[in-house]
């Protein structure tokens, strides 16, 4: 019943021209050609579309490169800390063309870390660590270990 009333009233309003049929006229006046809708000629619109596609491809390539660089960093960290490898990271690096490396600022950070680790591993680094150690505690631990070994040897050997 409500549908019947609505259709009858809307038809009456459309016939009077009071704006009830304004939606239809808007749809009819909209051009079907997207170039005309954008206010361009067909050639300008096609050039614009090509330009948009090229820009999207450039953005996608830059995004893939950044993803590959991040994956490379994760691979590097996994190797450094001996964590399990991830196939996803390796696939991202391969998709980017295997010519992906760490970004320059990260390479500098890695180089600084390696220099610090080499310094710690060197003899001078070990000597600096000795200065920080508690010699009394080390001496006590060595004496305790020696006495434990002596007691174990006395229990096993009947000559001592």
- Residues 89, 92, 97, 99: is their CA dihedral positive or negative? negative
pLDDT value at position 60? 93
SS (H, E, C) 16-35: HCCCCCHHHHHHHHCCCCHH
CA distance 132 to 135: 9
> Mean pLDDT, to the nearest integer, of 8-31?
58
CA distance 160 to 60: 79
- The CB density around residue 20, as the number of other CB atoms within 10 Å, is 15
Burial of 110 per CB tally in 10 Å (0-12, 13-18, 19+): middle
pLDDT value at position 49? 92
For 69-76, the CB contacts below 8 A with 24+ separation are 69/100, 69/101, 69/102, 69/103, 71/100, 72/100, 72/101, 72/102, 73/102, 73/106, 76/102, 76/110
Residue 69 in this model has a pLDDT that exceeds 90: no
> Mean pLDDT, to the nearest integer, of 37-50?
86
CA angle, 11 then 16 then 20, to 5°:
55
Closest listed residue to residue 34, CA positions, set 46, 26, 25, 23: 46
Q: pLDDT-based confidence at 4, cuts 50/70/90?
A: low
**pLDDT one-digit tens code per residue, 107-159:** 788 788 777 777 666 666 666 666 667 777 788 888 999 899 888 888 887 76
Residue 33 in this model has a pLDDT that exceeds 80: no
Residue 29 in this model has a pLDDT that exceeds 70: no
pLDDT value at position 156? 81
């Amino acid at each position: 019943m409500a549908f019947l009333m609505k259709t009858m009233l809307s038809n009456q309003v459309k016939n009077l021209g009071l704006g009830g049929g304004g939606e239809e006229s808007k749809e009819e006046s909209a051009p079907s050609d997207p170039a005309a809708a954008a206010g361009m000629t067909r050639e300008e619109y096609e050039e614009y579309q090509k330009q948009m596609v090229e820009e999207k491809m450039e953005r996608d390539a830059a995004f893939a490169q950044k993803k590959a660089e991040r994956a490379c960093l994760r691979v590097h960290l996994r190797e450094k800390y001996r964590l399990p490898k991830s196939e996803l990271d390796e696939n991202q690096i391969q998709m980017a063309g295997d010519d992906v490396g760490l970004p320059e600022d990260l390479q500098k950070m890695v180089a600084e870390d390696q220099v610090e680790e080499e310094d710690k591993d060197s003899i001078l680094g070990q000597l600096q660590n000795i200065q920080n150690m508690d010699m009394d505690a080390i001496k006590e631990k060595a004496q305790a270990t020696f006495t434990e070994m002596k007691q174990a040897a006395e229990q096993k050997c009947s000559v001592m």
